[in-house]
A = this chain, B = another copy of it.
Amino acid sequence: MDMKVAVIGASGYTGLELLRIVWRHPRLELVAATSEKRAGQDVGGVFPALRGLLELRFEALDVAALAPRVEVAFTCLPHATAAPAVAALRKAGVRVIDLSADFRLRDLATYEAWYGAHQAKELFGQAVYGLPEVYAEDLAGAQLVAAPGCYPTSALLPMLPFLRQASVEASPIFVDSKSGASGAGRTLDEGLLFAEIDENARAYKVAAHRHGPDIEQEASRAAGEPVAVTFVPHLLPTIRGIVSSVYLQPKRPLSQAAAQALLEEAYADTPFVRVLSPGETPSLSAVRGSNFCDVAAVVDPRHGTLVALSALDNLVKGSGGQGIQCLNLMCGWPETTGLLEAPLSP
């Protein structure tokens, strides 16, 4: 009755988070965790948090050997590296939830402008975009899912309801996102050292981050017209979490009550989006370690502009947890299976 699962590229932070969630998921059995760098090592030696919980060794990825053992694979590989692995797994009949950027975009030219040549063109455009609050129906029975990145999830959930109702201008939209350091992965980069990040904060890749096109693509679909997003990510001195503030201009005067109602209706039936009460603002500590995305909307009482806000845990709702949420829907299980946890606060 359990579904057999592999986590491909499991030695980074997204991999670790997936191991944690799969471990506690009542319908999943973890069969394999791959890592080229850590092949042969104990999972509990590499990740001391998992000592005594998982009796497993990392293995090198060998699709032919792996495919008969698993029904579904989560791929946590860098873009460009992911595409051929995904293609091989799909060819071998394994359902795939890809957490890389390789299958998120719908326009090949856009992909290639930001990432270079695509390595599995035959599958390009075949994936369901794994944002369950939007694509729940498409996810049912899907064979290939492209889970959106942490920034797009954080930017889209608070603004989509307003775009869908055509209640805000499509241009310009400013998305100011602030992310913890784990969003950059377990990468050996001087800029990610503790002494560089603690007590620090800064914008980076201003209007030049690869998650921008992702955001625009889905915002435009919701709006039914091209949307222009200026996306500005910032680096925060936190391990986890993204807070985003999205700056919008209502087409017609919008009351605070109407904005609140619009959000509440949009998310009345989605278990992981919590619409905050007026006066409350989303915070990282309220979602830490959980699959929740908290959202809120504030209308500037003097100028009538609209600020849509969100907070999520980038490793859960921003990647691993969202992947599991997709899998639940793919399998027809309750959407919250293995995912409904009280956030770790303080």
The contact of A309 among B206, B208, B229, B281, by CB within 8 Å, is B206
Which of A238, A289, A345: most chain B CB closer than 10 A?
A: A345
CB-CB under 8 A from A298, the residues of chain B are: 206-207
Determine if A190 is an interface residue (Cβ-Cβ < 8 Å).
yes
Give the Cβ gap from A213 to chain B, nearest Cβ, in Å: 9
Determine if A36 is an interface residue (Cβ-Cβ < 8 Å).
no
Contact, CB under 8 Å: B243 / A283: no
Question: Size band of the A side of the interface?
Answer: 35 or more
Contact, CB under 8 Å: B243 / A194: no
Instruction: Across the interface, name the chain B residue whose C-beta is closest to A285.
Output: B200
CB-CB under 8 A from A16, the residues of chain B are: 345-346
Determine, out of A49-57, A85-93, A99-107, A119-127, the stretch whose residues face the partner at the interface: A49-57
Contact, CB under 8 Å: B203 / A243: yes
Contact, CB under 8 Å: B288 / A199: yes
Contacts A/B (CB < 8 Å), 18 sampled: A23-B342, A24-B342, A45-B277, A49-B345, A53-B342, A176-B245, A186-B195, A193-B194, A196-B285, A198-B239, A200-B284, A201-B238, A201-B243, A201-B284, A203-B282, A206-B298, A206-B307, A344-B344
